[in-house]
Structure 1
Amino acid sequence: MTYAPVDPVKLTGDLIKCPSVTPIEGGALVLLEAMLTEAGFSCTRIDVNDVCNLFARWGTRGANRSFGFNGHTDVVPIGDADAWSFDPFSGEVVDGIMQGRGATDMKSGVAAFVAAAIDFVQQTPPDGAVIITITGDEEGPSIHGTTEILNWMTENNEAMTDCLVGEPTCPDVMGEMIKIGRRGSLKAHFTARGKQGHSAYPHRALNPVPAMARLVDRLSRHQLDTGSEHFDPSTLVVTAIETGNDAGNVISATCTSAVDIRFSDVQSSTVIIEWLTREMDLVAQETGVEFDLKTKVSGEAFITPPGSLSNLVSGAVQSETNVTPVLSTSGGTSDARFMRSHCPVVEFGLVGKTMHQVDERVEIEQIEQLKLIYGRVLKDYFA
């Protein structure tokens, strides 16, 4: 009987039709579990609270070599439905373009590595294991997603020796970029507390706004570092300064601000929080305004040093696209920040121009290329 390869374009469309807006499963993992089970993968659902996750392994547990893929089927909300030119959950192909929420980020990536993995184990069963982990909580808080999968793997003696995350990584041209790490991410929220009063009698009040302005100016003008071999300089962006005051003749009692910091491997969240606290305390001493600081760390900076894994993926990309990818640590966070504690990890996926946008879409040629690249990665890995 002739084996029929899995069509990654059709699978992408089928996944887009599943309205899996975080944390709703929407049928996407049910579809993938059924496909992988039929192909001989041992599948386990790891559902925690409202989050659904899937672990799938072909081959024996504890194999000497086990190559893994990681991705997510949850998507961000569509926003204004009337702003879309098409049904965001249509999964239709028009003039060579796959349309719909998740077309780029990242149902196409999931479809490509699932299709590549199924074809590979059916056509050339490897000496080792192929593992697929898919979460429904990457676009959300990321508390009960990939971390829960990794916890379950530890408890059940499951392990990957290497991992490829299928997030979109290419800015403009298919094949141009592989992510070998990510910057750290930290958000800080300041509250300044003064004394409310009439703006005609400022001496009777304690205005927190100039104090906050002084603080964010100090933070903005400070250079955290100059970067490193694989990382650009760390950045701090002030994203909000607010009082909630609509009255023009009232001095507010409080003022809040928020900053977003993306940091290189020169830094750590601990060091940055200590610096933020020192600057805040200095302004408090200078102005008499009381300050509070709350922080949230989404991830530390990390890197998988260039080597066998990045060379493997780079070689597959070059073979299928004739493009030599650069190794980068740019962009926001991804679930690679969790996988890196388990095994060496890199990221490669298609062009991400329209991710999270209205009218999200991708060229079907890229989806087909991506499956070929992932298939070559598996072939070369187990050669």
Structure 2
Amino acid sequence: MTRTDPAELTAKLVQCASVTPVEGGALTLLQELLTDAGFSCWRVDRNGTPNLYARWGDKAHPQSFGFNGHTDVVPIGEESDWTKAPFGAEIVDGFMYGRGTTDMKSGVAAFAAAAIDFVRDTPPDGAIILAITGDEEGDATDGTTALLDWMDAEKEAMSVCLVGEPTCPDHMGQMMKIGRRGSLSAWFDVEGKQGHSAYPHRALNPLPAMVRLMDRLASHELDQGTSHFDASTLAVVTLDTGNPATNVIPAKTSACVNIRFNDDHTGASLSQWLRDQAATVDVEFGTKTSVKIKISGESFLTPPGPLSDLIAKAVEAETGNTPELSTTGGTSDARFVKSHCPVVEFGLVGKTMHAVDERVEVAQIHQLKSIYTRILADYFA
């Protein structure tokens, strides 16, 4: 029987220039492949964002294993900086080059290939679901969230889910993610009164207030970490006044901070803390500060248990490495899936994701397919 080559599929996906939110033919390719393999497929596009839902087996079956991933990629930057064509999928010295080779078309190709061959070889008593979005690298408002909303309306469900994002820092099998920190960004606009710098008493300089506010935020210890999470962090990422004149006190200045937070906090509790800090500084300086906050995701944890044990066992069997259970890194679509079912992330080495000359070791794509195949076999055993 012909096997599904995950590296060949990765190359075909990379050659689809699916820079978010452009579909680029990637989901169309996957839909055709999965349909031919006996999967029922639906396009779940919303507000122009492309998404694909595929299921093999009965949706009413109480046992279903889900994979989640994305085919959209970040922009390539300056093409002249690349030594290989960004969408060429060229293989050199055992590495495939191209945008999305690591993040995460190889992961999608590996779980699609594993699922296709598994249902052909040993049709399971249960369902296998692939929920693939074209909106993970963008705003993520109409991607996996749209798929989950559609699943809820259609009574589709995953019992558990594996997100195929790159999770290993240096070598295969090194790390899996059982949770993620939350993320929020906050923008501050401090208003004072413009005036001549020689007569500061006639003006209200917003800059000292902003500097005091940023110092209060940046020097505050949010926590010392929890049992599964490192300490939360706050970074001042920009401070802008745009004042070219040295003899003018500006009327307004702006700044932004980003917080990555653990399960000691919620987006709401941190938002209130930020607003309280701004109000305190306003009282001290007589300024007026407006605060705008965007919560990208709450922290979450899938406690170590059957799902993480299942994946760790398969990873160890195929790589010889026992993966560390981690909650490090940025956000992923697992932050949405966690409200639907238990979710864990495991994928390739992510050293070159989003980088110029992004690349993946071809052998690792085949190894990842083997890991995913073993996970399916053990789950449905």
User: Do they superpose with TM above 0.5?
Assistant: yes
Choose from 69, 72, 75 the match for 1:71.
Answer: 69
Which residue of the partner structure matches residue 95 of structure 2? Answer: 97
The TM-score normalised by the length of structure 1 is: 0.99
Give 1:200 deviation, angstroms: 1.8
Give 1:204 deviation, angstroms: 1.5
**% identity of equivalent residues:** 62
Choose from 173, 188, 191 the match for 1:190.
Answer: 188
> Which aligned pairs between 1:202-241 and structure 2 lie closer than 5 A?
202-241=200-239
Which residue of the partner structure matches residue 50 of structure 1? Answer: 48
Give 1:253 deviation, angstroms: 0.7
SS of equivalent to 1:309 = helix
Matched, 1:264 2:262: yes
Which string of whole-angstrom CA distances, capped at 9 and with x for unpartnered residues, describes residues 132-160 of structure 1?
Answer: 00000000000100011011111111100
CA contact (8 A) 2:70 2:135 kept: yes
Q: Which amino acid aligns with 1:337?
A: R
Give 1:248 deviation, angstroms: 2.0
Gaps of 5+ in 1: none
Give 1:245 deviation, angstroms: 1.2
Which string of whole-angstrom CA distances, capped at 9 and with x for unpartnered residues, describes residues 319-377 of structure 1?
Answer: 00001100001111100001001100000000000111111101111111100000000
Choose from 174, 177, 180 the match for 1:179.
Answer: 177
Give 1:50 deviation, angstroms: 1.6
> Which aligned pairs between 1:221-370 and structure 2 lie closer than 5 A?
221-370=219-368
Choose from 127, 143, 146 the match for 2:144.
Answer: 146
SS of equivalent to 2:257 = strand
Which string of whole-angstrom CA distances, capped at 9 and with x for unpartnered residues, describes residues 272-329 of structure 1?
Answer: 1111111110100000111000000011000000000000000000000001100001
SS of equivalent to 1:373 = helix
Which string of whole-angstrom CA distances, capped at 9 and with x for unpartnered residues, describes residues 2-51 of structure 1?
Answer: x1110000100000000000100000000000000000000000011220
Which string of whole-angstrom CA distances, capped at 9 and with x for unpartnered residues, describes residues 167-189 of structure 1?
Answer: 00001111100100000001000
Give 1:84 deviation, angstroms: 0.8
Which residue of the partner structure matches residue 32 of structure 1? Answer: 30
Cα distance in 1 for residues equivalent to 2:235 and 2:195 = 30
Which residue of the partner structure matches residue 23 of structure 1? Answer: 21
Question: Structure 1 stretch 107-116 or stretch 242-251: which is displaced more?
Answer: 242-251
Choose from 8, 11, 19 the match for 1:10.
Answer: 8
The TM-score normalised by the length of structure 2 is: 0.99
Q: Which amino acid aligns with 1:74?
A: D
Which string of whole-angstrom CA distances, capped at 9 and with x for unpartnered residues, describes residues 204-243 of structure 1?
Answer: 2111111000000001111111111100011000001110
SS of equivalent to 2:66 = strand
Q: Which amino acid aligns with 1:197?
A: G
Cα distance in 2 for residues equivalent to 1:289 and 1:174 = 53
Give 1:60 deviation, angstroms: 0.7
Matched, 1:111 2:109: yes
Show structure 1 runs of 4+ deviating over 6 A.
none
Cα distance in 1 for residues equivalent to 2:309 and 2:212 = 48
Give 1:74 deviation, angstroms: 0.2
Cα distance in 2 for residues equivalent to 1:106 and 1:365 = 16
CA contact (8 A) 2:161 2:343 kept: yes
Q: Which amino acid aligns with 1:145?
A: G
SS of equivalent to 1:227 = coil
Cα distance in 1 for residues equivalent to 2:225 and 2:18 = 38
Give 1:91 deviation, angstroms: 0.9
Question: Structure 1 stretch 243-252 or stretch 106-115: which is displaced more?
Answer: 243-252
Cα distance in 1 for residues equivalent to 2:377 and 2:355 = 35
Q: How many residues align?
A: 381
Gaps of 5+ in 2: none
Q: Which amino acid aligns with 2:73?
A: V
CA contact (8 A) 2:214 2:236 kept: yes
